[in-house]
A and B are shown apart, each in its own frame.
Chain A
Amino acid sequence: MLGFRLSAEKPPQAHRVTDVVINRFEHVYEVDPALMTEHVHQQAIPNWEFNRIVENRWEHLAWMHDHFAESVLSGEGLLAEVEAEG
C-alpha cells in the first residue's frame, strides 16, 4: 500500500525487553506503558509518525558526523588490525 490507511497505523503487539522496556518494532525500544499512567500519559502516535521520529534520529546523527568531519573511522575495523598485529 502506497498511502495512508487508518487501520494500518495501530502499533503492533508489544514484547517485553526488560522490567521497564518493551518493543513493538524491530530494534526500537519503548517505555513500559505502565510507567506512564500517573503523572504523564502517552500520546496516540500513529506508526508513520513513530517511524519518522526513529528515521529522523538516525538521519540527524549521520548529519552530525558529516558536519564535524569528512569521514568516520570504524573502531571495529581498527580493532581487527590491532588484534592481528598482536
Chain B
Amino acid sequence: MATVALLDGVVDELTAICGPDHVFTGRSAVFNRARVPAPFPVHRWEEHIPSAVVLPTSAEQVSEVVKLANRHGIPVVPRAGATGLTDGAVPLRHGIVVDIKLMNQILELDHENRTVTVGPGINMLKLNEELRKHGYIYPDDPASYPCSLVGGRIGTSGWSLIGARYGHTRDLVISFEMVLPTGEIIRVGDGGGPTVRKSSSGYQLKHLFMGHQGTLGIVTEATLELVKRPEAEFSMFFSYGSYMDAWRATGELARSGVATLAGVVLFDEEKIRYLRRDDEAYIPQPESVKAVIACAAYGNADEVRVGAKRLLRIGKASGGAYLGDEISQGDWASRHDRYATPQHGRTRDGQVALMSWHCEDAAIPYPQLPAVREKWHAIADSLRERFDMFDDWGIFAYTNGAFKPWGDYLTEIDIGIWEMKWDDESWAAWVDAKRELARVSIEHGGSISACHGACRAGEVDLVPTELGGGFEVMKTIKRALDPNNIMNPSKYLLGQAYEEE
C-alpha cells in the first residue's frame, strides 16, 4: 500500500525543474491521478498510482522532466483533462505523471491566418467563450466538451459531434509542438509553417503524433483552426417504428449531400428502452416509438435553412415522425456534455444501482451496423446474466467521417458497470467481453475505436489483429523514438517493442 518511491534525489531534481509549488508526491496527489472515467479496477487502485506528479508551465520544463526520466529510467505518463474513455492517462508502471493543466493560456490569436495558438491545458468551452468575442468558434465538440482539454484531444485523436460539418480533432489542429520521448522539442504539422493547412513535404507527422495515447511524447502547444461562429443551428429528432427503418433513413440523411449537415445519430431499440427509464424526452413517447434519429446542421442562416428543409423532407419521406422542437432542441443541446450518469444503472430486478459507464466506440461500416448491433447486445446480455452488475444501455451510431458523413459510423454500445462490485472474477469476465466486442468490430470490417483509443484492457489484445503489419511499424517507430521506453510504457502493448527478438 505504500506509494512507490522514486530514487533518491529525483524529487529534488524535479523540483529544480518545475519549482517547489508544482511537484507533488503526497498520497492524495498520486491516488487522485491514477484513473479516468473509463472502467477502472477499483480493487487494484494502487497498481496505477504514479510516484510523483509535476505540473510544468513550459515546454522547456516538460523537456527537462523527460530528459531526467531518460537518465533515471523512470516512466512518464502525460495527463491532460483525464476525461478519456480509454485509459491512456492511467499509469501502468507508476513513474512521473506530467499533468499539463497549468499550460492553459491563449498564446496568439491570428486574425489574418485565422488560427489560435494555445497551451494544451485549455478546455474548448473556455476557449470558445473567449473566441466568441471575435466571432469565431473552435468546433471540436466531444461529449466531454466542457471538461476535456486540447492536449488530451490530440493524444487521443478525438472525435467531434459536429465533425461531419467541421472535421474532427485531427482536422482542426493545424500544427503542434511536441516534446519527444527523448526530450527534444519539435513542431509537427502537415509541413511548412505552423499555420499551413496542407503540405506534401515529407512524412505526414501530424497524424503520427495524434492518438498515440502518450506513448510518443507530450504536446506543449497547439495551433488551431478558427471557424466563423455559426449564425444558425438546426436540430431535428425523428422517431421510427423499427430499427431497420431508422437505419435506412440514417443512410439517406447521411448521403443527402447537405453541406451544413453536422451529424446524424441513430438510437437503437435498446437505447430507446433505456432512455424511457429516466429521460424526460422519451418517457412520454408512445410504445410505437422504437428507434430515433437525431440530426443537426450549423452554418450561415440561409444555408442552414435550405439544408434543414431537405433533411426534414427526407425524415418525413422515410416514414419518420418529427418529435417536436422541445425535444429536438433540448436533447441536442444536452449532447455537448453527454456523459452517462451513474443513476441510469439498474440491477436485474429493476432497482437503481450506481453504475460506471463503458462506452464502446468502434468505427463500423454502414452496411454492417445491423449485424454488429445484434452481436454486441448478445455479449452484453451474457455479461448481465452472469453478473448482476452489468447493464445494457443500448447502442448509438453517429456519422463518423469528417466533412463527408456517409460511410462508417462511430458505433457505441453503452454498458453500465456497478464498480463497487468488482472482484477478480468479474473483472476478468469484463475484459473477455471487451475483447469480444472488439473482435466483432474487426470481423465486420471496422475499427476497435473511432475516438477514444484502443488501449483498454481486452480490446488492446486485438490491436495487432486490426492493424496487421501496421502494428510492426508502430513497434519500430516506438523503439526508434523512445529507445529507453520512457513514454507511457506498456500502453498499447508497446512493451513488445523492447522484447528480445
A and B are partners in one complex rather than unrelated chains: yes
Interface positions of B from 296 to 310, Cβ below 8 Å from A: 298, 301, 304-305, 308-309
Q: How far is the CA of A20 from the CA of B350 in the complex (A)?
A: 9
Q: How far is the CA of A31 from the CA of B343 in the complex (A)?
A: 10
B325 in contact with A76 (CB, 8 Å):
yes
Within 8 Å CB of A69, what residues of B? Answer: 229-233, 298
Task: Say if the beta carbon of B147 comes within 8 Å of chain A.
Answer: no
B283 in contact with A37 (CB, 8 Å):
no
| Selected contact of A21 from candidates B283, B324, B333, CB within 8 Å | B283
Within 8 Å CB of B328, what residues of A? Answer: 75
Task: Say if the beta carbon of A44 comes within 8 Å of chain B.
Answer: no
B330 in contact with A75 (CB, 8 Å):
no
Q: How far is the CA of A11 from the CA of B277 in the complex (A)?
A: 21
| Selected contact of B334 from candidates A61, A67, A71, A82, CB within 8 Å | A61
A67 in contact with B352 (CB, 8 Å):
no
Task: Say if the beta carbon of A49 comes within 8 Å of chain B.
Answer: no
Q: Residue on A with the closest CB to B146?
A: A64
Within 8 Å CB of B333, what residues of A? Answer: 60-62, 64-65
A70 in contact with B309 (CB, 8 Å):
no
B334 in contact with A74 (CB, 8 Å):
no
CB distance from B9 to the nearest CB of A (A): 48
Q: Residue on B with the closest CB to A64?
A: B333
| Selected contact of A71 from candidates B128, B231, B325, B353, CB within 8 Å | B231
Within 8 Å CB of A2, what residues of B? Answer: none
Q: Residue on A with the closest CB to B230?
A: A69
| Max count, chain B CB within 10 A of own CB: residue among A65, A68, A82 | A68
Task: Say if the beta carbon of B347 comes within 8 Å of chain A.
Answer: yes
Task: Say if the beta carbon of B280 comes within 8 Å of chain A.
Answer: yes
Task: Say if the beta carbon of A40 comes within 8 Å of chain B.
Answer: yes
Task: Say if the beta carbon of B235 comes within 8 Å of chain A.
Answer: yes
B325 in contact with A70 (CB, 8 Å):
no
Within 8 Å CB of A31, what residues of B? Answer: 278, 343, 352
CB distance from A86 to the nearest CB of B (A): 11
Within 8 Å CB of A36, what residues of B? Answer: 351-352
Size class of the B contact interface (CB-based, 8 Å): 35 or more
Interface positions of B from 256 to 308, Cβ below 8 Å from A: 276-278, 280, 283-284, 298, 301, 304-305, 308
Q: How far is the CA of A61 from the CA of B316 in the complex (A)?
A: 27
Interface positions of B from 329 to 364, Cβ below 8 Å from A: 329-330, 333-334, 336, 343, 346-347, 350-354
B232 in contact with A71 (CB, 8 Å):
yes
Task: Say if the beta carbon of A17 comes within 8 Å of chain B.
Answer: yes
Q: How far is the CA of A70 from the CA of B136 in the complex (A)?
A: 11
| Max count, chain B CB within 10 A of own CB: residue among A18, A37, A79 | A79
Q: How far is the CA of A74 from the CA of B233 in the complex (A)?
A: 9
Q: Residue on B with the closest CB to A76?
A: B325
B233 in contact with A72 (CB, 8 Å):
yes
Q: Residue on A with the closest CB to B231?
A: A70
Whether A75 contacts B325 in the complex (CB less than 8 A), given A68-B336, A69-B298, comes out as: yes
Q: How far is the CA of A60 from the CA of B338 in the complex (A)?
A: 13
A76 in contact with B324 (CB, 8 Å):
yes
Task: Say if the beta carbon of B125 comes within 8 Å of chain A.
Answer: yes
A20 in contact with B312 (CB, 8 Å):
no
Q: How far is the CA of A82 from the CA of B234 in the complex (A)?
A: 15
Q: List 28 A-B contacts (CB under 8 A).
A: A17-B284, A20-B277, A27-B280, A28-B280, A31-B343, A39-B351, A39-B354, A40-B353, A61-B333, A61-B334, A65-B333, A67-B129, A67-B132, A68-B230, A68-B298, A68-B336, A69-B231, A69-B233, A70-B229, A73-B308, A74-B325, A75-B234, A75-B322, A75-B328, A76-B324, A78-B309, A81-B309, A82-B313
Residues of A within 8 A of B (CB): 17-18, 20-21, 27-29, 31, 35-40, 58, 60-62, 64-65, 67-76, 78-79, 81-82
4 shortest interchain CB distances as A-B pairs: A69-B233, A61-B333, A69-B230, A64-B333
16 additional contacts (CB under 8 A) given A21-B278, A35-B346, A69-B231: A18-B276, A29-B280, A38-B347, A64-B333, A65-B333, A67-B132, A68-B336, A69-B230, A69-B233, A69-B298, A70-B229, A73-B234, A73-B304, A74-B325, A75-B234, A82-B312
